[in-house]
Amino acid sequence: MHKAYILLGTNLGDRLSYLQQAKTCIAQQVGEVLAASSIYETAAWGLTDQPSFYNQVLVVKTTVEPDNLLQQLLNIETQLGRIRTIKFGPRTIDIDILLIDDLVNQSAILQLPHPALPQRKFALKPLAEVAPNLLHPVEKKTISQLLQACTDTLDVQKITPTAS
């Protein structure tokens, strides 16, 4: 059994609906959703000339192994209309694996923990809400400590209370 920390992001269409649909698909196809952070709104990162994103972190209990988990999450993105055209471009849904247990993995398709996690406040802030004392297996700091040290200047605003 694994505990996966998954980041959802969306900046097209009905963003709240896409987050809920992704959460439902993950619960049906991947494993039990143990916790969900509040929803946060953040200006686009990377390619900035696009609508702002809604982000949410899910904590999921799953028996699916990491590489297969990534494939299942990519399939859910496709089910929800994700079309990959421009790197960092607008999307109906983006699903990233931030961490799985304390695994450090460098497969051909998946790096764990997510290599950019310490530099991205839009991922750290919701993750710190659901797992503040979780230890990053490479940085050897808690998620709260990583958030405090993060130099990302993008404004990340909570728009909902903790979701169910």
Q: Which residues are catalytic?
A: 82, 91, 94, 96
> Terminus-to-terminus CA distance in the chain, angstroms?
22
Element (H, E) at 17: helix 15-29
Q: How many degrees, rounded to 5, is the angle at CA 5 between CA 41 and CA 101? A: 155
DSSP string, 101-133: TT--EE-SS-EES-TTGGG-HHHHHHHHHH-TT
DSSP 52: P
For residue 64, give every residue at least 6 positions away whose Cβ sits within 8 Å of its Cβ, in sequence order, or none: 2, 30, 31, 72
The 10 Å Cβ neighbour count of residue 75 is 13
128, 147 Cβ separation under 8 angstroms = yes
